Amino acid sequence: MKKLLGFIVIVFGLVFIYAPIIILAVYSFLDTPNIGAAGNFTLDNYITLFTTEELSQMIWGTVILALVSAVISTFLGTIGAIGTYYSRRRTQAFVNTVNQVPVVNADVVTGFSICILLVILFGMSKETFFPLVVGHVTMCTPFVYLSVLPKLKQMDQSIYEAALDLGASPAHALMSVVIPQLAGGIISGFMLAVTLSLDDYFIATYTKPATFDTISTYVVNATRGSHTEIKTALWALSTVIFVLVVLIVIGMNLFSDNKEGKEKMQKA
C-alpha cells in the first residue's frame, strides 16, 4: 500500500515535469504547428533549425557567451577563493558578504543595476558586449567562489608549505600542488557557470547588444510573434537540448559510478 502510494507520487511528479517536454519533442517531428492535432512525420523543423542562419547564430552566440563567461568566472572565482582564504579575517568577511549579493539578488536587479552603471552612467555602448559579459561574469563568479571554498577548507594545508620547503616557487607550488587539490570544486564551478549563463534571460535583456540574441531572449521574442515556422523550429531546439542534457547526465552518472561520486551528486 505504502509502496504503491510512493510509486503514484513519483509517477505523477515525472508526468508533470516531463509530459510537456516529451509531447513537444514528439510534435517536433510532425508537420503540424498545433499540439493535439494529427500530423505526418517530418524532419522539417530540424532542417529549419540547423539551416536558418538567424537560429544558428543565436545558438552559437549563446554557447560562446556561456563559455567565455564561464572561463572568466572560473579563473576569477578560483584565484579569488584562494586569495581570500589566506587573507585577514576582515577581508574574508568583506568578500564573503559581497559575494552573497549576486547569489541572493534577483537577476532583474543585477542586470538592471549593471546596465545603469555601465550604460547609463558611464555611457558605454552595449554593442561592445562588455556589459553583457560583465553581467554574466557577475552572476556566475560567486557560484564558482562558493564551490571552490569548501575544497580549500578540506585541503591539507601543509602540502603547500612542503612544496615550498622542497624548493618550489610559490607560483609553481600553487599550480602543481594546490590547484589539483581544488580540481573538483573548480570543475563543478565551471559547469555551474555554464548552466547559469545558458539559462539567463534577465541580465541579457538589460545588457546585450540590440542585434544579439541569446536562446532565452530569442525564444521570448519568438513567442510574442506568430511566426509558425520559427515556433516549431524552437520545439526542435528544445528537443535537441533535452537529449543533450539526458546524454550528459547519463555520462556523468557512468563517469562517477562509484558510491562517493553518487553521494556527491545527491548532496549537490
Least Å distance, CB 51 to other proteins, is: 20
Distance of CA 85 to the CA centre of its chain: 25
The dihedrals phi and psi of 217, each to the nearest 5 degrees, come to -65, -35
Binding to other proteins (CB under 8 A) within 111-140 occurs at 112-117, 120-121, 134, 137-138
Q: What is the Cα–Cα distance from 105 to 91, expressed in whole angstroms?
A: 22
Binding test (CB under 8 A) with other proteins, winner from 27, 58, 212, 233? 27
Task: Classify each residue of 52-79 as buried b or exposed e, where b means 16 or more C-beta atoms within 10 Å of its C-beta.
Answer: eeebeebbebbeebbebbbebbbeebbe
Binding to other proteins (CB under 8 A) within 1-20 occurs at 6, 9-10, 13-14, 16-20
Q: What is the Cα–Cα distance from 257 to 251, expressed in whole angstroms?
A: 10
Binding to other proteins (CB under 8 A) within 77-116 occurs at 77, 79-80, 82-87, 91, 94-95, 98-110, 112-116
Q: What is the Cα–Cα distance from 69 to 192, expressed in whole angstroms?
A: 11
How far from 125 is each of 6, 69, 114, 150, 235, CA to CA, in Å?
55, 19, 13, 38, 34
Least Å distance, CB 239 to other proteins, is: 9
Is residue 54 at the binding interface for other proteins, with CB under 8 A as the rule?
no
Least Å distance, CB 218 to other proteins, is: 8
Of 42 and 133, the one with the shorter C-beta distance to other proteins is 133
How many residues make up the chain in this entry? 268
Q: Return the DSSP state at 124.
A: -
Binding to other proteins (CB under 8 A) within 225-244 occurs at 234-235, 237-238, 241-242
Binding to other proteins (CB under 8 A) within 176-215 occurs at 188, 191-192, 195-196, 198-199, 201-202, 205-206, 215
**Residues contacting other proteins: total by CB under 8 A:** 98
Least Å distance, CB 75 to other proteins, is: 9
